[in-house]
Structure 1
Amino acid sequence: MRILLLTGKGGVGKSTLAAGTAALAATAGHRTLVLSTDAAHSLADAFGVPVGAGPTRVADRLFVQQVDAQLRFQESWAEIQRYLLSVLEVAGVDPLAAEELTVVPGAEEVLALLELRAQALSGEWDVVVVDCAPTAETLRLLALPEALGWYMQRVFPVQARVVKSLRPVLSRAAGVPMPGGSVFEAVERLHGELDEVRALLQGPDASVRLVLTPEGVVAAEARRSWTTLSLYGYRVDGVIANRVFPAAQGDDWRAGWVAAQEQVLAEVDQSFAGLPVWRSLYRPAEPVGVAALGALAAEVYGDDDPLAAPTGDAAFRVTRTTGGAVLHLRLPLVSRDQVDLARKHDELVVTVGSYRRLLTLPAGLARLEVAGARVEDGELQVRFREPAAAQEEPA
């Protein structure tokens, strides 16, 4: 099953292009679902039909779904929220205010991805196209499963055991209820489901497609997104430049816009070298409906297969050398001075700008020591070697 996520800065037309890509896939004979994880749903507007919280058929082999994040939130967060509400009740917090406080910012967008997991595991689809939230939100939610995994592996087991054994004492001492086993089970279940989402989206049949408009600020954000998505192990397979003005004839004002866009597009081609950059011309009217959306996508992709499996090496891989190993992490558009690297026990901490990733090293690397690192051709390469003590041991 092919999974394709489209994202970009708000307002660049990613919903229209996600809908068009899905319509084209269905026309090609694939049973296709296009779903929105964006809180500001636009797919119903793009198709011009009412769309529900479950898959809604809009054409032969084409289904649309605008995820009810609130419903998914209640299903996955209810047990945890009930416990938090009980704590705030003891503290004397107003019930309405308490309910607002127990809603984690961004949780609804994250939990909407659980619907992607459910649909992927259903076996009903050949293709799932995801209309993601704007870039910043997408980056945060895609990074969460791995960050939560670190907590679950190192902190959560100890915390759960302590609370379980000392719950009566802690409850009396603190004066507030301690979490029961069902709360810990809910957290574990949520983590497991999100970890499955991460595995799906980092798999060989999944990729992210960036949508941008030919503007300097938008293109700069797309470049940062490519770097950050790669940092977290997600594969970007192409870029769509949307709302490109056609060549102007006898119109000096429009000719100025065309020239400005062409300058940005030249930079985009250079920045995203190695990736296809498709262009979508500016239209006098927004395409609405399956036929118009499919025609738009057919024009954008031309002779290319919009569902072609992503190629190239995985974002994260390890190669063996004579004296150790090399860890490879794809980091496009990054220079060595932009990367901060630290080793903490069996973890490698990679920081690029304001984004940080904790890589838990495979057992084969964890016993080795870092010998050096470099950034070459858009890839971070960290060299590992046998510890000095091991090298000095007599044969």
Structure 2
Amino acid sequence: MRTVLTTGPGGAGRTTLAAATALAAAAGGSRTLLVSAEPIPGLPGGTEPTAVTDRLDHVRIDSGAHFRAELTDLQERASGVLDLVGAGRLDGEELTELPGSAQLALLHTLHRAAAGDWSTAGYDTLVVDLPPLTEALALLALPEQLRRYLRRLLPAERQAARALRPVLAQLAGVPMPAQWLYEAAARKDAELAAVQALVEDSATTLRLAAEPGPAAEEALRTARTGLALYGLRADLLVANRVLPRHSPDPWFAALAAEQEKCLSHWHAEWAPGIPVHEAPHLGRDPRTADDLAALAVPAPDEREAGRAEDPWWIEGEPGESGTPAELTWCLPLPGAVKEELRLVRRGDELLLTVGPFHRIIRVASALRRCTVSGAALTDGVLRVRFTLDPGLWPRTP
């Protein structure tokens, strides 16, 4: 399944881009599912896939309903523990969703599309309207992070003791509450693994919407860094609400000139690797399918899909014994600023922070027998230097 994730700075038209992309995909013959958290004018939307055209379905995410359903289900599964401590139950009507529930609802919806009950509906293309840019990139990294937390908090080796719990429960005369916790963790890990696989799939790409101007320049610079850090690939940058270039009105002409200067920069910086599509300003917000078609957003091209291989590479010079005396682990981070970079090694992991983005990366196997001797950011590439630990490398006879 081809997956297209759309985002952009707040107010730049990312939801419009998602709808236009989905309509273009369906018009090209692809059976398409559009997922959004916001209502889209002119398109019907329910919490289950609702037909828009013969080849396009639309589903809206109801984060409040998802939060209430999840918490109610948790209470049912943990009923033994709650009864043991005398806790009172919460009714669905009194539950108010907490911060972060919208992100979890979106991950749950992606799981339903990728490996859940919607995955058998025969969709060829999945188009997802993500939150604003910085939040969207953090959201796409969330499955990997949450799975790491689960592994640290509930290690697999501790689950081996589950076979003893029924015996211990009989001896103690009270139910052992840990069983449901491990079962719940296993279910969530499976869901997160499916979403992580979708994000990392070679058929998944990102589309960015931005309105040409100084504010978008900084946002897109940050986006390029985040994309590189998380190993994501964009297939299109849509410059939204582009004004006519030759207006007789001096005020509009000045705005158009500022946009044109920005667009020239984007074409030079992003293309040809990532095409820049200029969507015209319609003089109003798009409200119908015809308005969306007038934006002329291209349909996703199957040939353009493809996640780049691991962006890290290793450089090293051979020492006197033929073994490299120093190895350098390199990661391209276009747009990164030295002052916003923080790097810490802990065991076999690197904790890397770049601006608002944070990622924990497992060190390559060849470098785990080395110590970090330095790091530098030059020409948009982070180079982490590793010195061989003689006590860990095999001796050459």
Q: 1:10, 1:99 → 2: CA distance?
A: 31
2:321 matched residue in structure 1:
none
Residues 316-336 of structure 1: CA distance to partner in whole angstroms, max 9, x if unpaired? 444575638654434221144
Q: 1:371, 1:21 → 2: CA distance?
A: 47
Question: Percent identical across equivalent pairs?
Answer: 34
Asked if the contact 1:374–1:381 (Cα under 8 Å) also holds between the matched residues in 2, the reply is yes
Asked if the contact 1:163–1:178 (Cα under 8 Å) also holds between the matched residues in 2, the reply is no
- The structure 2 residue matched to 1:60, chosen from 33, 54, 57, is 54
What letter matches 2:48 in structure 1? G
Q: 1:225 to 1:126 in 2, by over 3 A?
A: same
1:388 matched residue in structure 2:
390
Specify the SS of the correspondent of 1:246: coil
Greater shift, 383-392 or 6-15, is seen at 383-392
1:213 matched residue in structure 2:
211
Specify the SS of the correspondent of 2:7: strand
What displacement does 1:272 show?
3.3
1:69 matched residue in structure 2:
63
Q: 1:42 to 1:306 in 2, by over 3 A?
A: farther
Specify the SS of the correspondent of 2:29: coil
Specify the SS of the correspondent of 2:47: coil
Q: 1:178 to 1:16 in 2, by over 3 A?
A: farther
What displacement does 1:246 show?
0.8
1:21 matched residue in structure 2:
21
Asked if the contact 1:76–1:190 (Cα under 8 Å) also holds between the matched residues in 2, the reply is no
What displacement does 1:192 show?
2.6
Asked if the contact 1:145–1:194 (Cα under 8 Å) also holds between the matched residues in 2, the reply is yes
2:171 matched residue in structure 1:
none
Q: 1:388, 1:99 → 2: CA distance?
A: 62
How is 1:38-187 mapped onto 2 (pairs within 5 angstroms)?
Answer: 38=37, 41-43=38-40, 45=41, 48-80=42-74, 103-121=97-115, 122-123=119-120, 124-157=122-155, 179-187=177-185
Asked if the contact 1:331–1:378 (Cα under 8 Å) also holds between the matched residues in 2, the reply is yes
How is 1:206-355 mapped onto 2 (pairs within 5 angstroms)?
Answer: 206-272=204-270, 274-297=273-296, 300-301=297-298, 306-310=301-305, 313-314=308-309, 316-319=311-314, 323=324, 327-355=329-357
Greater shift, 25-34 or 329-338, is seen at 329-338
Greater shift, 13-22 or 327-336, is seen at 327-336
Q: 1:78 to 1:157 in 2, by over 3 A?
A: farther
Q: 1:380, 1:336 → 2: CA distance?
A: 9
Q: 1:201, 1:375 → 2: CA distance?
A: 27
Q: 1:69 to 1:293 in 2, by over 3 A?
A: same
Q: 1:69, 1:326 → 2: CA distance?
A: 45
Q: 1:99, 1:139 → 2: CA distance?
A: 32
Q: 1:94 to 1:388 in 2, by over 3 A?
A: same
What displacement does 1:252 show?
0.7
What letter matches 2:5 in structure 1? L
Asked if the contact 2:245–2:257 (Cα under 8 Å) also holds between the matched residues in 1, the reply is no
Asked if the contact 1:163–1:179 (Cα under 8 Å) also holds between the matched residues in 2, the reply is no
Q: 2:90, 2:207 → 1: CA distance?
A: 43
- The structure 2 residue matched to 1:194, chosen from 176, 179, 192, is 192
1:173 matched residue in structure 2:
none
What displacement does 1:27 show?
1.2
Q: 2:9, 2:227 → 1: CA distance?
A: 14
TM-score (norm 1): 0.80
Specify the SS of the correspondent of 2:304: coil
Q: 1:72, 1:335 → 2: CA distance?
A: 39
Specify the SS of the correspondent of 1:380: strand
Q: 1:204 to 1:161 in 2, by over 3 A?
A: closer
Q: 1:291, 1:318 → 2: CA distance?
A: 47
Q: 1:283 to 1:292 in 2, by over 3 A?
A: closer
Asked if the contact 1:55–1:65 (Cα under 8 Å) also holds between the matched residues in 2, the reply is yes
TM-score (norm 2): 0.80
Specify the SS of the correspondent of 1:238: strand
Greater shift, 135-144 or 319-328, is seen at 319-328
Asked if the contact 1:80–1:183 (Cα under 8 Å) also holds between the matched residues in 2, the reply is no
Q: 1:257 to 1:204 in 2, by over 3 A?
A: same
Q: 2:213, 2:157 → 1: CA distance?
A: 49
What displacement does 1:4 show?
0.6
Q: 1:282 to 1:312 in 2, by over 3 A?
A: same
Q: 1:81, 1:294 → 2: CA distance?
A: 47
Greater shift, 196-205 or 357-366, is seen at 357-366
Total equivalences in the alignment: 377
Asked if the contact 1:213–1:241 (Cα under 8 Å) also holds between the matched residues in 2, the reply is yes
Q: Which runs of 5+ in 2 are unaligned?
A: 169-174, 319-323
What displacement does 1:228 show?
1.9
